[in-house]
Structure 1
Amino acid sequence: MRILVVSDSHGNQQLLSEVVGREACDEVIHCGDFCTDENALPAVNLTAVRGNCDWELVPEERTVVIDEEMRILVTHGHRYHVERSLLMLRYRAQEMGVHIVCFGHTHRPLCMLNSDLLLLNPGSLTQPRGVRYPSYAIVTTRAKRTVEVAFYEPNGEEIVEHGGRFQL
């Protein structure tokens, strides 16, 4: 299964729709700060959560089950103070019994395996911080809870310094 993970698109509906259309993934996860009306989001299999800049009353957290064996926690991250530390987010993930946490808020791409938990921030689709490029991520699930993560710029060019293959 291919999963598109985006965050912090901050109202750029056209760019979000272009990326969603080009990638043609089975599932789309938006980690918040979409900053549009919910009904303006692409009409695909989409899981979106509310970020600190969103006004729509979508949930602040959601859990997605992939291939009946992998659980993903989706949150924006501001409530867990991810700009300072990932500890609170890791504790929440352990509490929820998930394998992957997808979050945003910092506008910086991150892909890190911590024990058996994959922490994934796709970066910002429109307003990068601390890096020179906006970004999104593609998660491809494989057998036996193996995932491959690749990062891309909005034009589809791969960002090779991020991502990898992980056994969860």
Structure 2
Amino acid sequence: MKMLVLSDNHGRYDLVMNLLSQWRDKVDYIFHTGDSEFSSGDVIWGLVDGVVKGNMDFDPGYEIETFINTPAGKVALSHGHYYGVNHGLGGVKDLAQTNGAKFMFHGHTHKLYARMEEGILFVNPGSLNHSRGPEPERTFAVVEVNENQIKVDFYDDDQQKLDRLSQQFDL
């Protein structure tokens, strides 16, 4: 199973539409973890399986968090600003654990990472607008789950895989 995870594009409508069009048939799920700055009623969300409100999404039609059941386990989505992700993962970890999620995807910090803790995969795909982390690229993530392993690949906004950032986790 493959999941595409996007966040923090802050506008950049054409880029997101292009990514969704290019990847929709290549992945099983597409998730956006907030700060799109699009209307919650935009047709673009018809290509997405889950989307949440970011701190720069002022449209009241977005959920603060959402949960999606997949064959590989429950996915929790939150932008992260309500859960203090600038200061650590404690808040989103509690959210994931309380709701039985195996995957916790969030944004907000513009710093990409993938980490496995207590059986939960935490991923921030970075930002499609600008990075605030040590990696300079604007990024998104693809999470691939099979029987024995989870692989997380990061791509730049030109859809070039950044091999140096790929991570694998044994199940």
> Does TM, scored on the shorter chain, surpass 0.5?
yes
CA distance in 1, matches of 2:144, 2:122: 15
CA distance in 2, matches of 1:105, 1:123: 8
Partner of 2:144: 140
Q: Is the 8 A contact 2:78 2:106 kept in 1?
A: yes
SS across alignment from 1:165: strand
The 5 Å alignment of 1:38-77 reads 38=40, 39-56=42-59, 57-67=61-71, 69-77=72-80
Alignment of 1:80 with 2:60, yes or no, is no
Higher share in strand: 1
Structure 1: 5+ residue stretches without partners: none
SS across alignment from 2:116: strand
CA distance in 2, matches of 1:111, 1:162: 9
CA distance in 2, matches of 1:26, 1:94: 24
Partner of 1:100: 103
Distance apart, 1:40 and its partner CA? 4.5
Distance apart, 1:9 and its partner CA? 0.8
Q: Is the 8 A contact 1:7 1:125 kept in 2?
A: yes
Structure 2: 5+ residue stretches without partners: none
| Number of equivalenced pairs | 166
Q: Is the 8 A contact 2:32 2:48 kept in 1?
A: no
TM-score (norm 2): 0.90
Alignment of 1:157 with 2:151, yes or no, is no
After superposition, the CA RMSD in angstroms is: 1.5
CA distance in 2, matches of 1:147, 1:65: 17
Partner of 1:26: 28
The AA in structure 1 aligned to 2:143 is V
Q: Is the 8 A contact 1:140 1:149 kept in 2?
A: yes
Q: Is the 8 A contact 1:26 1:45 kept in 2?
A: no
Q: Is the 8 A contact 1:11 1:36 kept in 2?
A: yes
TM-score (norm 1): 0.91
Structure 1 outlier segments of 4+, above 4 Å: none
Q: Is the 8 A contact 1:13 1:40 kept in 2?
A: no
CA distance in 2, matches of 1:125, 1:103: 13
Cα offsets for 1:83-123 (capped at 9, x unmatched): 11111211221111111100000001010111211110000
Partner of 1:89: 92
